[in-house]
Homo-oligomer: A and B are copies of this chain.
């Protein structure tokens, strides 16, 4: 079966609900067999996740913070929302600086994925940050309480999938990083 027998075609879209951080839309689509269905999709800016490598990969710089969706602490790579007008690289450099206090001598794109292609329209851009140097204090947003810390790479690998390593996009980034470095996850 080729892709044309699986593809839907959008014929209408309307906003159903707006928040400060995303808009819920209803999209009406025609199925491969011609029937109409309406699907709920969350629209928001793209996100960025940065893997800050330390000591030639022996460790990472990571961010500890309370996460309101999960309702628990998370230890994760820096990242956040790409602001309107920023490129993905701009956003990666800004989030790295804000959340770890570091600037990178070298930034490498690791890949672009969909955080949830079923219900989210945006993408996540993954970067590797190398040759880090401390540029000053963290600059959290006003409602962010975060700390940055060095974490052994082995600890992150062993810990993924259980608290405090709860963020799935952290493990997505680790997968893309391990591929680039040809490392065992």
Contact = CB atoms under 8 A, between A and B. Distances in A.
Interface in A22-74: 22, 24, 27, 29, 31-33, 37, 39-42, 64-74
Contacts of A87: none
Interface of A is mostly: mixed
Contact of A32 (B114, B145, B158): B145
24 contacts: A6-B66, A10-B71, A20-B40, A21-B40, A24-B24, A68-B118, A69-B118, A69-B120, A70-B117, A111-B161, A111-B171, A113-B166, A115-B115, A116-B168, A116-B169, A117-B167, A158-B179, A160-B179, A171-B172, A175-B175, A176-B185, A178-B178, A179-B184, A184-B184
